[in-house]
A and B are shown apart, each in its own frame.
Chain A
Amino acid sequence: MTLPKDILRDLYKTMIIIRFFEESLVEPILKREIHTPCHLCSGQEAVAVGLCKALSKDDYIFGNHRSHGHFLAKGGSLKALAAEIYCREAGCSRGRGGSMHLIDPTVGMLGSAPIVAGTISLAVGAALASSIRKDGRISASFFGDGATGEGVLYESMNFAALKKLPIIFACENNLYATHMPIRECRVNRSICKIAESFGIENYEVDGNDVLQVYDMAKKAVGVCREGNGPVFIEFLTYRYRGHVGPDDNIHGFHTDIRPREELAHWLEKDPIQRLERFIRESHIMDEQELQSLKREAGEEVRDAKSYAESSARPRTEEITNYVFA
């Protein structure tokens, strides 16, 4: 069954905004206008966008070091994100957090942090809060394949399963934990099966197909809302850029870890092009509509960046503000 046009339009628009925004950071990073470590998510947009589209505004998410996409997909302000990346007072974290600490509680984006797996237990706690209050909210935890090396993931899965907490463990498997290919980190390539031993429903999904991601996420949300959580989903995906910064970690570049053929293979599965192709082939939008969405997205990104660049830096006399509430 084909999704309604407005949903497809939203999925497409949010994905291209994320892509345009991430790629717009490349030049300022290289020119050292941006210093905060940016872990770009180009190539992985479909996971954030498809999953967040299945959540309601009141539901909670927690991100990680690579969370520009999660923040935007959950409804965070593009201007506030851009300003945070320029470490300005108008940023979502008032320039105290930078790229790795993105938050907007008003849309359920409860935070992100670069300690690998560090926010998984926090997301479980937000789900615990919902279950104590019986408020029907669910919680999603975004983490990467690298986080499967951290013990707290297993503690969190066990506790969530014991208490049947409404949480989606969303593992974005992009095949690399910083520089380490997954085969050097894990004996068993299948990640979602780790949830099996905790009695957690688990699935492997093509994370580069936003329609499959959305479909799977809706099912998982349903399971959690009915009190039958948690659900563990492994999304297979790939990042086009380096672990941090624009350097693409492809053979021939100085970090030199990923084969060119591998990148080429994944570029063919580009999540945005796939959705665009689907939209064209099913005549949901015509070329003109697609182009105008792209134009809009481009303008929004440019506006946000110029807003960020021209906005004020934090005041030095306020350095110790926000240590305590």
Chain B
Amino acid sequence: MTESDDHITCREVVELVTDYFEGKLPADEAELFEQHLNFCEGCAWYVEQMRATVTAVGRISEEDIPPKARERLLTAFRDWKR
């Protein structure tokens, strides 16, 4: 839920960006999100960077990761789990 029914803040844009990309925002909130992007250059740039990152990461398959890097990542996540 946003703090106002009429507009959202830059902080809320950051919080909602993933749901926006995934089409999970209710229509009213998506509308406020886009209204904010329409006037806030900083948030528009942030969302574009996020979109580019998601697109780039989405293209990486498990085979693209070098074995050493893969092992380091798996170790890190195992430690993180504990």
Chain A partners chain B: no
| Chain A residues in the interface with B (C-beta under 8 A) | none
